[in-house]
């Protein structure tokens, strides 16, 4: 290991020795801080040691990592559950200057079905820990028993379920069923993990969900009752929702059940904590928070673009910078990541990667060209999507800028190696320069239209310099709005469409079309289901759009549904006409079903709804009246 920096005299306590704790401990020790790791279990390594089985991650690799951290001077205190042996406050009082909490997401989910407390039912965490860490497979030589029996059922479709199923097989189960409620295509486990499991003889029992676990008179598992499922409409995760088929229940005889349906990652708890801090310690300071999608941040931070932009930063810090920048200018940041890595839902796995890439590239290019790019600040990743440019020319523009300083005018682009006349003509209109020698370069007017733009300005007694003066631009815009477009087009000898574009640009030079979009949702506190009342107005973010409506995150744990009939005060055939994933929308609460934890929302305001109702009730007037015209009332919702 590298020699640590000279001691800083600072002491840090790290709670948990999983990958998070080990990374923090190692990095801080290298900076010269004195670090102690407190680990609840008798062995360090977290899930790498007790969760992931040996056949997938040999333990000597994990041990080498731990040894490396120890050589940097980090001390380990095992069998130390913080919160039990001492509190964080006590650690601080003992002289630790900072505490890092890296305790993982170890709280397993259960299905809440009858029989989960029978002997022979394990969470995957417990099952794998008993096997990996406690060496239960060598019982009675080791103290911890593990019950596998001849037939084992593992419930869940992720990597953890695959690990548990393959472990059960290795522990001697003759037959292992892997029960999953959706189809194979939807299994979240990596394809090779599923293939490996099948090769080892694991039986996939797909489109099936357990309804109860059956026990014998001694309280031991003797079977698992399941119901067959069919795939219905997509839910908020983008995957088709499994729906039970009535009367299809049947029993699989098993002696062991392992439940591997995920662990809590404590995201909502973290949000609740931030919300508490804002309302208590930081009350009255007007601080709000916003949740930014982190999809693909690690792809950026460990890829060539992240490494090049921040060669001296750790990957985790690069990710943090990328997530922060997404709030400032999402487009400029997200173009640095392959669009496939920012996918929503599972559909990207169903199409050919080559086709997906080409079609996503087209979408990104059209977004970039629609917004336009600042030639003097854009990264090569953004420039390469500009019409006429490619990776090489984008890189050359970037290098030219580094060698010669900012571009002073669009014409200067032609000085860049590889940018000939035709590339210039294609690209120039999408690249703007603010503060350059020609004010028209700060607008989205193409250089070919400069003479026409100058003639228009001259007609109002102005020169391009006026575009930098807000009052002059406002007066010009007002006057241009009254212009007879066809007549002016004829006089100037330009097409009406081009003239319309020029006028729009002269009226709002260099306008960013995103300015008119809704702002991101800044929150001040977490809402509970109990806080929601009908007609309450909220802002939310669209998580997914399906044919019966849109799922909207309104900051409550349970995502709300805007049914298609509630998307607009008119008939909507396809929800995609009205909303898209990521849109910020204004919604009103319609109904809250506390028992089933369902929130139904509307994008039609209560006033609009009342007006529509009134219009519907008004008697029909045959002549001169308006009855029967206007938007039809919202349709009654179909069950979701």
Ligand X SMILES: Cc1cc2nc3c(=O)[nH]c(=O)nc-3n(C[C@H](O)[C@H](O)[C@H](O)COP(=O)(O)OP(=O)(O)OC[C@H]3O[C@@H](n4cnc5c(N)ncnc54)[C@H](O)[C@@H]3O)c2cc1C
Contacts with ligand X by CB under 6 A lie at 15-21, 38-41, 46-48, 51-52, 81-83, 102-104, 106, 128, 159-160, 163
Distance, CA of 471 to CA of 468 (rounded, Å): 9
Burial, 433: exposed, middle or buried (Cβ in 10 Å; 0-12, 13-18, 19+)?
buried
Nearest approach, Cβ of residue 109 and ligand X (Å): 12
Alpha helices in 202-352 (DSSP H): 267-279, 297-302, 304-309, 315-328, 330-334
- Find where tokens 């189960």 sit: 173
Question: 159 and 125 in contact (C-beta within 8 Å)?
Answer: no
Nearer to ligand X, 269 or 607 (CB): 269
* Strands in 396-529 per DSSP E: 431-432
Task: Tell whether omega for the bond before 286 is within 30 degrees of 0, i.e. cis.
Answer: no
Distance, CA of 440 to CA of 506 (rounded, Å): 9
Long-range CB contacts (within 8 A, 24+) of 325-330:
326/292, 326/293, 327/290, 327/292, 327/520
Nearer to ligand X, 81 or 282 (CB): 81
Nearer to ligand X, 16 or 637 (CB): 16
- Find where tokens 């860490």 sit: 133
Q: How far is CA 585 from CA 227, 523, 601, 610, in A?
A: 38, 14, 11, 20
Element (H, E) at 611: helix 606-617
Nearer to ligand X, 202 or 601 (CB): 202
* Token couple for 332: 């400029």
Nearest approach, Cβ of residue 571 and ligand X (Å): 46
Nearer to ligand X, 84 or 354 (CB): 84
Distance, CA of 339 to CA of 359 (rounded, Å): 10
Nearest approach, Cβ of residue 237 and ligand X (Å): 19
Q: CA 341: distance to chain centroid?
A: 10
Nearer to ligand X, 82 or 453 (CB): 82
Q: How far is CA 347 from CA 161, 175, 240, 352, 559, in A?
A: 22, 32, 10, 11, 21
Nearest approach, Cβ of residue 364 and ligand X (Å): 27
Distance, CA of 21 to CA of 63 (rounded, Å): 14
Burial, 289: exposed, middle or buried (Cβ in 10 Å; 0-12, 13-18, 19+)?
middle
Distance, CA of 416 to CA of 462 (rounded, Å): 33
* Token couple for 173: 């189960």
Nearer to ligand X, 106 or 633 (CB): 106
Distance, CA of 33 to CA of 9 (rounded, Å): 7
Nearer to ligand X, 83 or 486 (CB): 83
Tell me how many helices (H) and strands (E) the chain has. 21, 22
Nearer to ligand X, 13 or 603 (CB): 13
Question: 12 and 97 in contact (C-beta within 8 Å)?
Answer: yes
Nearer to ligand X, 123 or 559 (CB): 123
Nearest approach, Cβ of residue 191 and ligand X (Å): 13
Nearer to ligand X, 17 or 209 (CB): 17
N residues, the chain: 640
Nearer to ligand X, 159 or 584 (CB): 159
């Amino acid at each position: 290991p590298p020699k640590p920096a000279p001691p800083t005299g600072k002491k840090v306590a790290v709670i948990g020795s999983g990958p998070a704790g080990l990374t923090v401990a190692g990095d801080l020790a290298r900076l010269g801080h004195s670090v102690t790791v407190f680990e609840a279990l008798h062995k360090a390594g977290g899930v790498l040691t007790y969760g992931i089985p040996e056949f997938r991650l040999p333990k000597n690799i994990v041990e080498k990592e731990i040894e490396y951290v120890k050589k940097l001077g980090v001390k380990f205190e095992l069998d130390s559950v913080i919160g039990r042996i001492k509190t964080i406050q006590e650690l601080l009082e003992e002289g630790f200057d900072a505490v890092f909490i890296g305790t993982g997401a170890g709280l397993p989910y259960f299905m809440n079905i009858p029989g989960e407390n029978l002997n022979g039912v394990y969470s995957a965490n417990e099952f794998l820990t008993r096997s990996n860490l406690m060496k239960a497979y060598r019982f009675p030589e080791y103290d911890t028993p593990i019950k596998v029996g001849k037939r084992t059922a593992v419930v869940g479709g992720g990597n953890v379920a695959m690990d548990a199923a393959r472990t059960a097989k290795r522990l001697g189960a003759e037959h292992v069923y892997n029960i999953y409620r959706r189809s194979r295509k939807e299994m979240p486990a990596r394809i090779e993990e599923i293939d490996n499991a099948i090769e080892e003889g694991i039986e996939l029992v797909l489109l099936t969900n357990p309804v109860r676990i059956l026990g014998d008179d001694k309280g031991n598992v003797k079977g698992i009752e399941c119901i067959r499922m069919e795939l219905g409409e997509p839910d908020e995760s983008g995957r088709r929702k499994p729906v039970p088929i009535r009367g299809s229940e049947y029993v699989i005889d098993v002696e062991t059940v392992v439940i591997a349906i995920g662990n809590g990652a404590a995201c909502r708890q973290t949000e609740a904590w931030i919300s508490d801090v804002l309302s208590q310690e930081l009350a009255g300071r007007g601080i709000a928070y916003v949740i930014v999608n982190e999809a693909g941040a690690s792809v950026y931070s460990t890829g060539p673009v992240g490494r090049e932009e921040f060669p001296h930063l750790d990957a985790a810090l690069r990710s943090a910078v990328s997530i922060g920048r997404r709030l400032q200018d999402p487009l400029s940041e997200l173009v640095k990541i392959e669009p496939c890595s920012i996918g929503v839902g599972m559909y990207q796995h169903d199409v050919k990667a080559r086709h997906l890439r080409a079609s996503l590239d087209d979408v990104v290019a059209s977004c970039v060209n629609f917004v336009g790019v600042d030639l003097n600040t854009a990264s090569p990743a953004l420039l390469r999507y500009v019409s006429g440019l490619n990776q090489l020319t984008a890189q050359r523009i970037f290098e030219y800028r580094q060698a010669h300083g900012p571009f002073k005018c669009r014409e200067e682009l032609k000085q860049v190696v590889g940018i000939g006349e035709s590339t210039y003509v294609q690209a120039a209109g999408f690249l703007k320069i603010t503060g350059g020698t020609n004010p028209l370069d700060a607008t989205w007017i193409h250089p070919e239209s400069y003479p026409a733009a100058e003639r228009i300005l001259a007609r109002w007694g102005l020169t391009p310099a006026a575009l930098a003066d807000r009052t002059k631009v406002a007066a010009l815009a007002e006057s241009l709005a009254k212009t007879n477009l066809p007549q002016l087009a004829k006089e100037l000898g330009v097409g009406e469409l081009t003239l319309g574009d020029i006028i729009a640009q002269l009226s709002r030079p260099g306008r960013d079309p995103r300015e008119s979009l809704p702002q991101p949702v800044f929150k001040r506190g977490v809402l509970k289901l109990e806080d929601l009342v009908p007609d309450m107005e909220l802002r939310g973010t669209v998580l997914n759009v399906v044919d019966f409506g849109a799922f909207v995150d309104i900051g409550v744990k349970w995502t709300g549904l805007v049914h298609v009939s509630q998307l607009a005060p008119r008939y909507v055939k396809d929800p995609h006409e009205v909303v898209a994933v990521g849109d910020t929308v204004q919604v009103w609460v319609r109904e809250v079903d506390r028992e089933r934890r369902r929130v139904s929302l509307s994008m039609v305001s209560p006033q609009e709804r009342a007006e529509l109702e009134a219009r519907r009730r008004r008697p029909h007037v045959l002549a001169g009246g308006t009855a029967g015209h206007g938007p039809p009332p919202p349709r009654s919702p179909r069950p979701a």
